[in-house]
Amino acid sequence: MEMLNKVCEALELVRKVNPLVHHITNYVSVNDCANITLTIGASPVMSDEIDDVGDLIKISNALVLNIGTLNKRTIEAMFYVGKEANKLGIPIVFDPVGTGATKLRTEIAMKIIDEIDISVLRGNMSEIKSLIGLSSSTKGVDSTEKMEGAEEISKLASKKFNCVVGISGEVDVISDGERIYKVLNGHSILTKVTGTGCMVTSLIGSFLGAGCNPLTSCVSGYVVMGICGEEVFKKSGNNIGTFKVKLYDEIFNINEIKIKEGVLLEKC
């Protein structure tokens, strides 16, 4: 399958290019995002100070915006650096954490999508549904929505926001407005460790920074997290405390052979 080869090429490319990925992200999973960026072969830098981000984005290859613990100061920095990234042609992945749960999150996420050119929007079903104006329930940062209709919703959201949209869940669904891919890899244990969605977003940022296109970057992020999450569970079972550390090991050691053996990727 053509996309599978692109995912393998993306892995090779990120390790060759070693892109710098600038993050403005949340203080819950910031360290996990930095580590996951390193494990895939990119380099992370985290900064949300408005007097600092303008210089950093000039030397970065991609930008991750994540509103998990947004506040007035980081919101201002996100708009500033997002617009600078657009001027410089640096790709952006946006994670609208908790959208739908609060007015502030929904309003800021909508404004980011409206004013900043985003390459990939990645969130769970509750977040994406709320952004396209569908009624949606949430549990804070976690989804309480079923994945039913995810194919159409991802396509609709992609067309509406003019970017690739990746909806995560038991099956991850990705669309560029025309094509739809499904990644069936993953394990429910991934929902028991905080920050796994944020980490997928950092993986996507790493692939974007390496020069991969938004669709390939998004599919690759989900494939890597899905296969590696499954693998850690197979080896270690329900040992939640050590899961994340083993996930780093697994992602660091992912290769083309393991991807081709383990991948469950479908084109709709």
Ligand X SMILES: Nc1ncnc2c1ncn2[C@@H]1O[C@H](COP(=O)(O)OP(=O)(O)O)[C@@H](O)[C@H]1O
Ligand Y SMILES: Cc1ncsc1CCOP(=O)(O)O
Which partner, ligand Y, Mg ion, ligand X, none, binds residue 170 by CB below 5 to 8 Å per kind? ligand X
The answer to whether 168 is a known ligand-binding residue is: yes
Contact with ligand X (CB under 6 A) among 39, 124, 175, 216: 124
Does the footprint of ligand Y cover residue 39 (CB under 6 A)?
Answer: no
Measured from the CB atom, the residue of 13 and 97 that comes closer to Mg ion is 97
Binding-residue pattern over the window 20 to 39 for ligand X, x denoting contact by CB under 6 A: --------------------
Q: Which residue has the tokens 């804070």?
A: 140
**What are the distances in angstroms from CA 50 to CA 5, 38, 170, 196?**
39, 24, 37, 27
Site size toward Mg ion (CB under 5 A) is 2
- What 8-state DSSP symbol labels residue 101? T
**What are the distances in angstroms from CA 202 to CA 36, 38, 117, 168, 249?**
7, 10, 18, 14, 16
Beta strands in the chain (DSSP E): 20-24, 43-46, 62-66, 92-95, 120-124, 138-139, 142-143, 164-168, 172-175, 180-183, 265-267
Q: What sign does the dihedral 185-248-211-159 (CA atoms) show?
A: positive
Nearest to 63 by CA among 36, 83, 40, 35: 83
Binding-residue pattern over the window 66 to 105 for ligand Y, x denoting contact by CB under 6 A: --xx---------------------------x--------
- What 8-state DSSP symbol labels residue 124? E
- What 8-state DSSP symbol labels residue 170? S
The answer to whether 46 is a known ligand-binding residue is: yes
Contact with ligand Y (CB under 6 A) among 8, 13, 29, 39: 29
Does the footprint of Mg ion cover residue 93 (CB under 5 A)?
Answer: no
Q: Is residue 130 within 8 Å of 100, Cβ to Cβ?
A: yes
Binding-residue pattern over the window 211 to 230 for ligand X, x denoting contact by CB under 6 A: -----------x--xx----
Stretch that binds ligand Y, among 14-22, 75-83, 191-199, 255-263 (CB under 6 A): 191-199
Which partner, ligand Y, ligand X, Mg ion, none, binds residue 84 by CB below 5 to 8 Å per kind? none
Does the footprint of Mg ion cover residue 100 (CB under 5 A)?
Answer: no
Site size toward ligand X (CB under 6 A) is 18
At its nearest, how many Å lie between ligand X and the CB of residue 227? 10
Q: Is residue 232 within 8 Å of 247, Cβ to Cβ?
A: yes
3-state secondary structure of 237: coil
Does the footprint of Mg ion cover residue 166 (CB under 5 A)?
Answer: no
* Residues making contact with ligand Y (CB under 6 A): 26, 28-29, 68-69, 97, 141, 194-198
* Residues making contact with ligand X (CB under 6 A): 124, 142-143, 168-170, 172, 186-188, 190-191, 196-197, 200, 222, 225-226
